[in-house]
Chains A and B, each alone.
Chain A
C-alpha cells in the first residue's frame, strides 16, 4: 500500500498540502493566515489536477503533424479545470481580503476572537 504512496508522490503531496491549508483555514485565528491557508488548500487541489492530467512521454493536444490518435496526447481537461479553479480562487481571495480590510478598519485587529468580543460589546442590537 505504501509503495503506491511513494509512486504517486505528487498526489500525496497535493493531499498533504490540502490538509495543511484546510487546518489553517479552520483553526488559525488570524484572518490573513486563514486566507493563506485557503490558497494553500486550493493549490493542493490544483496540483492534484495538474499531475493527474499530465502523462509522461505524451504531447500537448495540439495536432500539427496530422496525428489524431488520442494515445499520443495528454488529457487537456484537467488543465482547463485548474484554470477555472484559479479564477474562482482569486475572486474568493479578493472578496475575503476586502472583508478583512473592512473589519480591520473598524476593530483595528486581525484576530477573529478579538473581533468577536469587540463586536458583541459594541451593542449594535436592533
Chain B
C-alpha cells in the first residue's frame, strides 16, 4: 500500500488546484465541482484513516525525499486522519445545506469565487492537519486566515466588512505572536521539524535557565494560537464574524477553522515541545483558568444576546473554553477530552449555524428573538434540527455534548488534584445550567404560538432533501458520538499515542 503514502500531500495539492480551477468555472458548475471534489477528498481521508487504523502505523512523506532533520515532512496518523475525515464531512454538509443562501447572499458573478475560497480553505485545513513542520504550519495558518476572511466578506454588507476587519486584526496579532514563537524556538533548537525539535527540547529542559527561555518562547506561540482560536478574553470578534456571515461560512469558521488552530496547538505541544516538558510549564494552569472563565462568561454573554446567531456565536466562545480546560487538565485524559470536544462541538455547532437562518427566513428575515416566535412551527424541519443541536449543547444523554462533558469530568478525576477536580465539576455544572437556560428559553420561544391574531396564520414550509439529508447526517453523527463515544475515544487515544 505504498500509494497511501502520497494521499495526504495529494489532498493539499489537489485542493490548491481546485481553488484555481473554480476561478474559471461558472457559479453552478463550481458548486457541483466543489461538492464532488470534497466527496472525493472525504474518500481519500477515509482511506488514510482506514490504513492508519488497520496497520497501526503513521504515514510519513518527506518532501523532495530529503531525510528527517533537513527536509519538510508531512505525517498522517490516526488522529489527523480522523479529524480530516470529520472536517471534510462537515465541509460537505455545510456546502449542501447552505448553498441556497450562498446563491442569495452573493452576486451571481461571484459565486464561483466563493467556491474557490472554500477549496483554498480546505487545502490549508488539510495542510495544518498533516504538516510536521512549524514554519509550514505558519504559512498555512496565514492562508487559512486570509481565506476565512474572504469567506466573511463575500456577503457585501457593511457589518460583515467590519467584522472581517476585526477578525483579521485579531488573527494578525495571533499570527505575529505565533511566528515570533516559531522563530524563537528555531533559534533555540535549530530545528523546524517537530520531532527533532522535541528531542533537542527534552535535553535543553534539564537546564533551569534554558527552561525559562523555552517557557517564554512556548508561551508566545501558545498565546498567538489561543488568540486565533478565540479563547477568553479574545473571543469578542466571534459574534460579529459568525453572526453576519453567510451560513456556510459561519458553520465552517466556527466548527473547523477555529478548531484547526487548536489542533495545531495540540500538535505543537505533543510533537514539538513534548507533553512532559509542557506540563512542567505554568502555561497549563493559565489554560485551565482562562478556559473556565471563558465557559462561564461566554455563556453569560450568550444569555444577554438579543439575536439568535449572536447567542450561538457566544456559546462557541464558551465551547472553546471547554477545550482549553481539557488541555489545562493535562495528561492523555485531558487531551482526549479536548479532542473529543472538538469533534462533538464541530458536529453540533455546524448544525446550529445551518439551522438559525432557516428559522429567520420564516420569521420575516429577522434573527431577533422577539420576531422568532413560532418559527419552529412554521419550519418544522429546521425546528427539529435546532432542538437536536440545543439538546447536545445542554448535554442531554444520547447526544455528543453529554459524552464530552463526561470525558471532561473523567479527565478531572484523573488529574489527581482535588482543587482541579472540584473547579472542573463546578465549571461544568455552571456552564451546563447556563446553557440550559438560554437554549431552553430559545426553544420555548421558537415553539410557542403567539396569542392574538397571529395564531391562525402559521404557514408551514417544508424542505427538500438537499437540506434535510445533509442535516440528517449531522444528527446521525451527533448520536453516534453520543451513543458510541468509546469508538471515537479509543481512536483518539491511539491517535494521541502515535502523535508524540
Q: Which of B135, B161, B173, B186 contacts A84 (CB 8 A)?
A: B135
Number of interface residues, chain A, beta carbon within 8 A: 39
Q: Closest Cβ of chain B: how far from A25's Cβ, in Å?
A: 6
A32 sits at the interface (CB 8 A): no
Q: Which of A21, A31, A41, A106 contacts B158 (CB 8 A)?
A: A106
Mark contacts of A89-126 with chain B using CB atoms, 8 A cut-off: 1 yes-contact digit, 0 otherwise: 00110011001101100110000100110110010111
Q: Closest Cβ of chain B: how far from A1's Cβ, in Å?
A: 10
B168 sits at the interface (CB 8 A): yes
Interface centre among A21, A95, A107 (most CB of B within 10 A): A95
Assuming the contacts A34-B169, A91-B146, A96-B168, asked whether A125 and B162 have C-beta atoms less than 8 A apart, the reply is no
Q: Which of A77, A91, A99 contacts B165 (CB 8 A)?
A: A99
Whether A95 contacts B176 by the Cβ 8 Å rule is no
A54 sits at the interface (CB 8 A): no
Whether A18 contacts B168 by the Cβ 8 Å rule is no
Whether A107 contacts B168 by the Cβ 8 Å rule is no
B367 sits at the interface (CB 8 A): yes
Q: Closest Cβ of chain B: how far from A40's Cβ, in Å?
A: 10
Q: Which residues of chain B have C-beta atoms less than 8 A from A118's C-beta?
A: 158
Whether A95 contacts B162 by the Cβ 8 Å rule is no
A49 sits at the interface (CB 8 A): yes
Whether B367 contacts A126 by the Cβ 8 Å rule is yes
B159 sits at the interface (CB 8 A): yes
Q: Which residue of B lies closest to A81 (CB)?
A: B135
Whether B173 contacts A103 by the Cβ 8 Å rule is no
Q: Bound complex: CA of A107 vs CA of B179, how far in Å?
A: 33
Q: Which of B146, B157, B159, B172 contacts A38 (CB 8 A)?
A: B172
Docked complex: A23-41 residues within 8 A CB-CB of B: 25-26, 31, 34, 38, 41
A73 sits at the interface (CB 8 A): no
By secondary structure, the B interface counts as: helix
Q: Closest Cβ of chain A: how far from B148's Cβ, in Å?
A: 11
Whether B180 contacts A31 by the Cβ 8 Å rule is no
Q: Closest Cβ of chain A: how far from B244's Cβ, in Å?
A: 8
Mark contacts of B152-172 with chain A using CB atoms, 8 A cut-off: 1 yes-contact digit, 0 otherwise: 010001110110111011001
Q: Bound complex: CA of A91 vs CA of B145, how far in Å?
A: 11
Q: Closest Cβ of chain A: how far from B73's Cβ, in Å?
A: 15
Q: Closest Cβ of chain B: how far from A92's Cβ, in Å?
A: 6
Whether A85 contacts B168 by the Cβ 8 Å rule is no
Write the residues of chain B forming the contact surface with A, with a CB cutoff of 8 angstroms.
Answer: 135, 138-139, 142, 145-146, 149-150, 153, 157-159, 161-162, 164-166, 168-169, 172-173, 176-177, 179-180, 183, 186-187, 192, 307, 360, 365-368
Write the residues of chain A forming the contact surface with B, with a CB cutoff of 8 angstroms.
Answer: 18, 21-22, 25-26, 31, 34, 38, 41-42, 45, 48-49, 52, 77-78, 81, 84-85, 88, 91-92, 95-96, 99-100, 102-103, 106-107, 112, 115-116, 118-119, 122, 124-126
A-B contact pairs, 13 of them (CB 8 A): A31-B165, A38-B172, A42-B179, A45-B176, A84-B135, A88-B138, A91-B146, A92-B168, A96-B165, A112-B166, A118-B158, A124-B157, A126-B365
